A and B are shown apart, each in its own frame.
Chain A
Amino acid sequence: MTRYTSATDADRAEMLAAIGVSSIEELFADVPVSLRLRDGLSLDEGLSEQEVHAELRALAERNVSCDDEISFLGAGMYDHYVPALVDSIISRSEFLTPYTPYQPEVSQGGLQAMFEYQTAICELTGLPVSNASVYEGPSAVAAAGYIAKHTNGRRRFVVSRGVHPHAREALATLARAWEMEVVEAPLEDGLTALPELDDTVSAVVVAQPNFLGAVEDLAALAGAAHDAGALCIAACDPLPLALLRTPGECGVDIAVGEGQTLGNRLDYGGPSFGFFATTEALIRRIPGRIAGETVDVDGRRGFVLTLQTREQHIRREKATSNICTAQALNALAGVIYLSWLGRRGIVELAELLVRRTDYARRTLTALDGVDAIHEQPVVREFAVALDAPVDAVIARCLAAGINPGYPLAGEGYENGLLIALTEQRTREHIDRLAEVLGEAVAAERDADRSHAGVSG
């Protein structure tokens, strides 16, 4: 017996007698003897609850979290404030512990929350159709690519370098299996520069804002895609959509994105949720669960999973996706968070982000040895180039208790740094970053010069 099982020796004896066998071993008679583990698993013995707590707390303490430093890390996940009511509601057993709502009569809470979530995503994206969520952001881009493949059967994706590198890679992983080619479109002065598009292009994939923080002209990109008969897929950061022209208004066919910023914790990268919205034309190709409104036999309003003939448990190999469930609990956190922000609050929050980002960009690029990589409008994140080795500068900032951002060397900007803001990073934090970053860059330039002096 463990602390999570209840069968006492007396229970076991009684149960085995009822089954008509004399030992548990007999129940495993179908397992060939040669396969049975004689010595058991080679794992440590179990621990008491308080010992497990102590061990996992000790591991937690060996991480430097956003509680421990002033962090300007973003690049796909952001340290937004999660209001207390989100934790309170999503930790309720009634939301935390059910399975997917296969029995709608006893799942109205979850189904209605999905319906409310879908409505919020439609409002954010300006598109008429949303599913109940998918795994997370980057794989949602790959899932959108699968729709494009089935919609037009063409053999190439044109993917902007402004799309998050993890999303580009997730799409490329699947494109190989589909024997499709991924062509990258470069960023010029921070914005996507599409190549000539022809009738081999299945979809154009862009991001809003893009990986360097720049706001793209989504309408022009979608227009170019449509002129070539391709779909336009946009990976969007949901909070800035409170201010920006919506993907729907810009003609985007599929808007997806990482939902972490909507009331979900960082959790070292997951679980979060991906949102997935599209046009009426593509409604029967969308992956995953969708909640729909209906009535019961007494005429009362109710909600069910709907359009299930797209899905794997009905259509099997002909399904529009292999995805089974959604990220229901994370999407629930999302809709609670959006209700908390509310119609005016989300705009106020987005405007605050824009203003703090602008202030941070102006303050930092005024420093010696810190230059903007582009001058495009930004909303929550911006990229700078340092006139000093970025890793060494970051190390100096960390020593001063500031995590200055994400190095962009992997994206081809040798001493580039991507700096993200949230409402939790105040002017005081930004000013402190400017002080520390300025000193770090100056110190590294000096070190570089003295090193050059010695070797030269």
Chain B
Amino acid sequence: MSVEASTERVTGSNAAADDQLTIYERSQPGRRAFVAPATDVPERPLDELLSPELRRAEGPRLPEVAEPEIVRHYNRLSKRNFDLDTGFYPLGSCTMKHNPKLHERLAALPGHARLHPLQHPARAQGALELMWRLQDALAEISGLPHVSLQPSAGSHGELAGVLLTRAYHEDHGESRTKVLTPDTAHGTNPATVTMAGYEVVKVGTDANGNVDIEDLRAKATDDVACLMLTNPSTLGLFEPQIDEIARIVHGVGATLYYDGANLNAIMGICRPGDMGFDIVHFNLHKSFTQPHGGGGPGAGPIAVSERIEPYLPRPQVVRRDPAGAGANGGSGADRAPVYDLDFDRPRSIGRLRGFQGNYGVFVRSYAYIRSLGAAGLRDVSETAVLNANYLLARLRELGVLKLLPAAYDRVCMHEFVLSGGPMKRELQIRTLDLAKRLLDHGVHPPTVYFPLLVDEALLVEPTETETKETLDRFAEIVAAVLAEAREDPAVARGAPYTTPVRRLDEAGAARRPVIRQAL
């Protein structure tokens, strides 16, 4: 769409102003959506039940709006979002794959959705069996035998993993102080290390985009507790020397931690456990299709090796085979296994959160694994890698890589990194400008300015659920934006034009934070 067309839209509307009202600004005294059930118990004066000293003088100033306006307000808001069900979303490291509709229906079944988390395990056998089966599948996929589903998100899984490392070393009479992270790591890795009470030591990247083995050797000292690694890395590259990395790390008695952000590249191809990793976290909202929800919820289960198992969070979902289940067992029903929560874990790091984890996410991820099976999961990773390499090839064919070269000229895995450095020098537009101009073409931009070590980085992850036609079209759009910028870089620098709002004053927002409505 042209600049002129978008300007027309900008200037044309009082409707836009109405679109920008908050729910509080739609409030009128006396309106309501909620009608309370009749008070069917004696109406004792409130003062007798709760003395005035315990009560607030004025209730919270929530909006006063009837149902039609609430629905219209949030439906209108929804239309100011870009979403995966509508368009291509190649956001690197986030694995924006299709979210099957079946999963929402399953999670909403009353037996799942209205199950109280403190229901006695004997009355929650379906839920516990589902969790046990999911644990079992994740153990197989990761190649590590023991799984805890408890962590709430990837970052929470990382925290669990580093705390497990601490517990393991302390139990062996060791006190270590450092954790190694590559300079390509996600920001959550170093933040987690600090939160778990360790010091971060960065390991460099070599000229091919791999972990700098000599740097690792130098920094892997006996006060190092752990190396946190993503494989494939955040550069979208598989570490071919993973065996040597594991040897070095284990050689100094440290644990090897697998950040599962990029698991989508290797399911059914190879397994972190076989690579020597001791602890893995999964992002069920990435590889296993929990919808991202505009920024949560997710879930971050962890899988660990035998030596780490005693320290897993409490409680653990376990399967107990009933006594007498051997040759002389009773009837079929008596021999059925029983699923339970095991709290008796004296060396556990303890709880990380309430209850048993994000069960609604487990329902969706388990359904996904059952839908695909072993062959389907392998197809997912093969197609994710095929799509990424094909998109890279298409971009090369269209000449895009002359201005946006691949940061490392290798076969990539499920995602790849381009550098906008040459584009910036030759066309005078930055990666940010390119990203904003892509919005006008109805695609979500890739991740930008990450990984940090690549100049003007773009991290592109198409995922397996996109068609060849979608990839072709994206490549053509990028080429068109670059051609347009060669003619007139101001267009990209002023983009976007067609979105509900245009570039926003983020610096001003941070300088004078307005983070709630003045009421």
Contact = CB atoms under 8 A, between A and B. Distances in A.
Contact of B34 (A170, A173, A345): A345
B56 A244 contact: yes
Interface string B20-34: 101110010001111
A253 B55 CA distance: 19
A329 interface: yes
A358 B49 contact: yes
Interface in B475-519: 494, 496, 499-506, 508-510, 513-517, 519
B516 A312 contact: no
A109 B81 CA distance: 5
When A and B form their complex, which 7 residue pairs have the shortest distance between CB atoms, in order from nearest?
A: A60-B111, A269-B355, A329-B293, A269-B117, A62-B126, A46-B373, A271-B297
Contacts of B53: 245
B27 to A, nearest CB: 8
B435 A32 contact: no
29 contacts: A7-B387, A29-B411, A30-B411, A32-B242, A32-B243, A40-B375, A41-B268, A43-B137, A63-B119, A65-B119, A83-B33, A88-B71, A89-B71, A94-B78, A94-B86, A101-B294, A115-B516, A142-B352, A243-B50, A266-B113, A270-B355, A271-B296, A292-B514, A296-B503, A298-B502, A328-B293, A342-B34, A351-B46, A352-B36
Interface in B378-409: 378-380, 382-383, 385-387, 389-390, 392-394, 397
Contacts of A298: 10, 501-502
A15 interface: yes
A352 B190 CA distance: 48
Given A57-B109, A88-B71, A245-B56, A115 B515 contact: yes
Given A128-B516, A317-B191, A56 B366 contact: yes
Contacts of A242: 59-60
B376 to A, nearest CB: 4
Contacts of B39: 352, 355
B502 A135 contact: no
A343 B86 CA distance: 36
Given A98-B82, A177-B166, A306 B299 contact: no
Interface string B253-277: 0000000000000111111001100
A253 to B, nearest CB: 17
A248 B310 CA distance: 42
Q: Which of A4, A101, A243, A345 has the most CB of B within 10 A?
A: A4
A105 B296 contact: no
B161 to A, nearest CB: 11
Contact of B373 (A47, A270, A289, A426): A47
B424 interface: no
B297 A292 contact: no
Contacts of B125: 62-63
B70 interface: yes
Q: Which of B27, B373, B387 has the most CB of A within 10 A?
A: B373
B102 A53 contact: yes
Contact of A40 (B105, B299, B378): B378
B110 interface: yes
Nearest to B199: A317
Given A113-B74, A325-B153, 16 more contacts: A18-B390, A27-B385, A30-B413, A32-B243, A56-B367, A63-B115, A77-B116, A97-B292, A97-B293, A98-B293, A123-B60, A138-B354, A173-B163, A270-B152, A322-B194, A332-B294
B392 to A, nearest CB: 8
B26 to A, nearest CB: 9
A108 B80 contact: yes
Nearest to B517: A119
A416 interface: no
A61 B109 CA distance: 9
A126 B56 contact: yes
A304 interface: yes
A423 B106 CA distance: 26
Nearest to A311: B187
A136 B197 contact: no
Interface string B343-367: 0000001111111111111010011
B89 interface: yes
B86 A99 contact: no
B353 A4 contact: no
B165 to A, nearest CB: 10
B172 to A, nearest CB: 16
B2 interface: no
B74 A40 contact: no
Contacts of A291: 515
B238 to A, nearest CB: 4
Q: Which of B53, B363, B506 has the most CB of A within 10 A?
A: B506
A167 B354 CA distance: 7
B119 A64 contact: yes
A109 B78 CA distance: 5
B112 A267 contact: yes
Contacts of B71: 85, 88-89
Nearest to A84: B67
Contact residues on B (Cβ < 8 Å of other chain), bracket: 35 or more
Contacts of A267: 107, 112-113, 115, 358-360
A120 B363 contact: no
Interface string B180-200: 000000111011111111001
B470 to A, nearest CB: 9
Interface string A1-14: 11111110001101
A173 B505 contact: no
Interface string A241-276: 111111001000000001000000111111101000
Contact of B510 (A21, A307, A327): A307
Given A309-B510, A322-B195, A423 B65 contact: no
A210 interface: no
Interface string B423-443: 000000000000110010000
Contacts of B153: 135, 323-325
Given A56-B366, A138-B354, A116 B439 contact: no
B239 to A, nearest CB: 8
Given A44-B373, A55-B370, A294-B505, A62 B111 contact: yes
B213 interface: no
B269 A324 contact: no
Nearest to A48: B371
A268 B117 contact: yes
A26 to B, nearest CB: 8
Interface in B283-323: 291-299, 313-314
Nearest to B70: A339
A413 interface: no
B315 to A, nearest CB: 11
Interface stretch (B91-99, B214-222, B325-333): B91-99
B291 A138 contact: no
A342 B501 contact: no
Nearest to A77: B117
